[in-house]
Amino acid sequence: MNNIIQYFKEIIQGIGSLLKGMSVTNRYFFSPGKIVTQKYPDNRKDLVMFERFKGEVVMPHNEKNEHKCTGCGICEINCPNGSIEVISKTIMTEDGKKKRAIDKHIYRLSMCTFCALCVKTCPSNALAFSQEFEHAVFNRALLIKILNKPGSQLMKGVE
């Protein structure tokens, strides 16, 4: 007897849960909430990417053309596919000391997997991700980028 009650109970509960699911999808069909589709080439002007989107690695510079990269090379060591190469040079500071600074911070976009290990491990937060995603170029050499701008210097107070 219990089995029979269980049988019908299961049927009624099953139909109830199915109807619940169908009512949700039916509601979405007639009044869809926020449409997630981006009509990309049309809305190119006002398309805003998300903060967390990993477009490409950049080195933020402030308005005095200063960056935070000390040239320690931790990003180069951490990069799993060798897409970062830091070429450093030695400069003389004002008080006559020898100091290491970067000459070129080379970033090969074509080899990058966007794992973010360089950004996470940088001790002075010199690297960041930009939201740029239109990377297509006609020449492969254009994908090799030098992240520090010409004539840039290390920010004051960053060791």
Per CB under 8 A, the segment of 14-22, 52-60, 63-71, 128-136 that binds another protein is 14-22
Question: Can residue 50 be called a binding residue for another protein (CB under 8 A)?
Answer: no
How far is the C-alpha of 70 from the C-alpha of 159, rounded, in Å?
7
Return the residue of 2, 37, 93, 139 that touches another protein, per CB under 8 A.
37
Which one, 37 or 93, has the nearer CB to another protein? 37
Q: By the 8 A CB rule, do 128 and 75 touch?
A: no
Under 8 Å between Cβ of 69 and 121: no
**Total site size for another protein, rule CB under 8 A:** 16
| Cα–Cα dist 91/71, whole Å | 12
Nearer to another protein, 23 or 90 (CB): 23
Query: CA of 19: how far to CAs of 24, 27, 83, 87, in Å?
Result: 9, 12, 53, 64
Q: Is 140 in the site for another protein (CB under 8 A)?
A: no
Which residues, other chains included, contact 109 with Cβ-Cβ below 8 Å and sequence gap of 6+? Answer: 56, 83, 135, 143, 144, 145
- Taking CB under 8 A as the rule, does residue 29 contact another protein? yes
Q: Please, which residue, 41 or 151, has the CB nearer to another protein?
A: 41
Task: Report how far apart, in Å, the C-alpha atoms of 74 and of each of 23, 80, 114, 121 are.
Answer: 54, 12, 16, 7
Q: Which of 5, 34, 96, 141 binds another protein (CB under 8 A)?
A: 34
Nearer to another protein, 3 or 139 (CB): 3
Interface residues with another protein (CB under 8 A) are 11, 18, 21-22, 24-26, 28-29, 32-37, 39
